[in-house]
Amino acid sequence: MLGVWADSDFIGGGTGGKGHRFGFTYQLAKNVQAGLIYFHDTLTRGDGPDLHFRRFHLDLRLKF
């Protein structure tokens, strides 16, 4: 898998995981947005216990 296709936020990067991504964006002003993203992922490993990833990302986007 090329790194350009493996999202580092999903299961810590790489492949072989399943999960969900939920996002919300709110327009604060004409050129300002706030966003919240929640990742709920699981990486299944054959040699050990599954790894569970629960992450929140908060973004502030400015357009100019």
Among residues 19, 58, 18, 16, which one has the least CA distance to residue 39?
19
For residue range 37-52, what is the model confidence (pLDDT) as tens digits? 999 998 887 788 888 8
For residue range 49-64, what is the model confidence (pLDDT) as tens digits? 888 889 999 999 999 8
Cα of 3 vs its chain's centroid, Å? 15
The pTM (predicted TM-score) of the whole model is 0.72
